[in-house]
Chain A
Amino acid sequence: MTRLKFTLAGLLLLACVPLCHAADRIVVIGHANVRKIDLTTVQRIFMGKTIEVDGVRVRPANGTPNLVARQRFLSQYLQTDEDQYVAYWTVRRYVGKGTPPHEVKQTAEMIEFVSKTPGAIGYVDEADVLPGMNVVLRK
């Protein structure tokens, strides 16, 4: 009996691994008028270097620093962390080259902003992807 419980617990744990992984994974979403984009373009958009993709003016949306998805996005897509990202935008703002992306406080707000704003690009946890949502990049 003990062995059966142990085996079941092990199987449950194994089943959880891909679920947990999926929950950690971030996907990039866009407004309906945004086409699929590559990783370099996402990086350039969130660093303020690219403002237009295929003739569409893009409007990136970022989570506020307390949003867990933001930290995952910075790590998975921009290969940076909060301190470096803030430092980058501190310099960029004060060299007169623009301001950081629009910020939202929670995932629901991110989804609403992206769905309603032409050219908007944001991100959500894989688990938060809804049917019909325009996923423009999935790593």
Chain B
Amino acid sequence: MKSNDRSLPNAMAAALMVFASTAAQAQDFSYSAFGTIGAAISNQDYRYQRFIDSDGSLMRDTVLGAQLDVQFTPELSATVQGKLAPSARNDQDWDLTASWAFASWRPNNDWLLRAGKLRIPLYLSSENLDVGQSYEFARLPTEMYSIAPTTDVTGLYITRNWALGNSDLSLDAYSGQAKVWVRLNTRDTGTSFNKYDTRVSGSVLTWRAEDTMLRFSAHHAVTRPDGGPLNPVSTQSITTPFGPVYDASGTTPKIRNDIITVGIDQKLPGNWRIMFEAERNIQHDTDLGANTAGGYIAILKSMDKWTPYVSASVLKTVGAPARAHEALSQSSVPDLVPGVTDVINASQRRFADSIPFYDQHSLAIGTSYALTPHSKLKAEWLHTWVRKGSAMIDSPSAGPAVADKGIDVLSISYNFAY
């Protein structure tokens, strides 16, 4: 096991020491633990979603965590959450990281201020994403829940609540920053991880009633390479003795993204439930980044301890990055001079693979089974159709990128939270 970032375990240890020394003075404190032991296997030899292939993997869904909540005064509390999960820096290691480390000040019913590291509510289940026990899906739809490399941000969060009779309206506003590792897999160079610095701010409006939850969020992110190469801006056509090919044109020191999400979680008569989320990730400053539209719809039926569900989801890269990916995917020169033309063609493949391009949709059928109020078993069959390509797939090194293919994934997991 290696640490993700030396400062994080240190920060966790320091925070835990502070907590331990003040716990005796604290009004109340509580420990909790959660985890998912999940296995997934697909019918393809290549990897999907980093880890899933025909050999099967425990790494896609397995996570173990613990949380400590300390109430110092009626208004002031602090929370630390640590988790053990596959590394964000490579595909081999497991990292112990601090998902949360924040202090809360709740002066009255209406206001909540939090400072530190916590998860921004980008999706309906952002904050409890790692706690499989808290939702029914074996895996939250990846087409929606993968649009940002991380949602753990260190900063300031302000929440205003309004009690509206039998419902509540809350507005969250936040601003913070995060160091993120972005995974890139190309057929010719394999997998690499590049570090970026992201500053993000946004606001989230949530309305909760007994049977309904509605959420609308808007976020603005500015991302800069942290020591790595600058991002190219666009493509340009260049002429070689063997024909026209593409090369990168220009660089930009930062990329801005505006992300908008909407989510609905509605309980229906007869223990039916419908969930819907959609996103639009608008990319600025480069034609070669993530510029996506996606979402899912799911129907669930609660039957005592069983909650079967079906979901359909989609994720597509749109606009200039989609056009650039398509052009690069078709770009090659005749293999006339070994050692020259194959190098040119490899550069075109690498360029195409470097675009975070998605054109896929999925159907999932699964169920959860509540063993106890604190634990669930889950099973799911997922079928993903990949049309023109998907950056979630590690295409085999020799040959074309995976396109117009179907992938079946079987998943089973044990989830708990105590």
Contacts and interface: CB of A to CB of B under 8 A. Distances in A.
Interface hub of B131, B168, B373 (most chain A Cβ within 10 A): B373
B417 A95 contact: no
B28 A87 contact: no
Nearest to A85: B373
Interface stretch (A15-23, A26-34, A51-59, A123-131): A51-59
Given A94-B417, A96-B79, A86 B34 contact: no
A93 interface: yes
B351 interface: no
Nearest to B75: A57
Nearest to B71: A99
B145 interface: no
B166 interface: yes
Interface residues of A, number: 24
B373 A82 contact: yes
A113 B337 CA distance: 86
B370 interface: yes
B108 interface: yes
A87 B128 CA distance: 12
Contact of B373 (A83, A99, A102): A83
A66 interface: no
Interface in B101-116: 102, 104, 106, 108-109, 112, 114
A91 B114 CA distance: 18
Interface in B376-403: none
A98 B165 CA distance: 21
A36 interface: no
A91 to B, nearest CB: 5
A51 B108 contact: yes
A96 B163 contact: no
Interface residues of B, number: 37
Contacts of A86: 373-374
Contacts of B79: 96
A102 B74 CA distance: 13
Given A86-B373, A91-B134, A96-B118, A51 B30 contact: no
A94 B128 contact: yes
A90 B134 contact: yes
A59 B27 CA distance: 11
Interface string A33-55: 00000001000100001111000
Contact of A96 (B32, B102, B108): B102
Given A57-B74, A94-B134, A102 B128 contact: no
A49 B28 CA distance: 18
A49 B131 CA distance: 22
Contacts of B133: 90
Given A83-B373, A99-B69, A90 B417 contact: yes
Contacts of A40: 165-166
B109 A93 contact: no
27 contacts: A49-B109, A49-B161, A50-B109, A51-B74, A51-B108, A52-B108, A52-B109, A57-B74, A83-B370, A86-B374, A90-B131, A90-B133, A90-B374, A90-B417, A93-B32, A94-B34, A94-B127, A94-B128, A94-B130, A95-B127, A96-B100, A96-B102, A96-B114, A96-B118, A96-B119, A98-B69, A98-B77
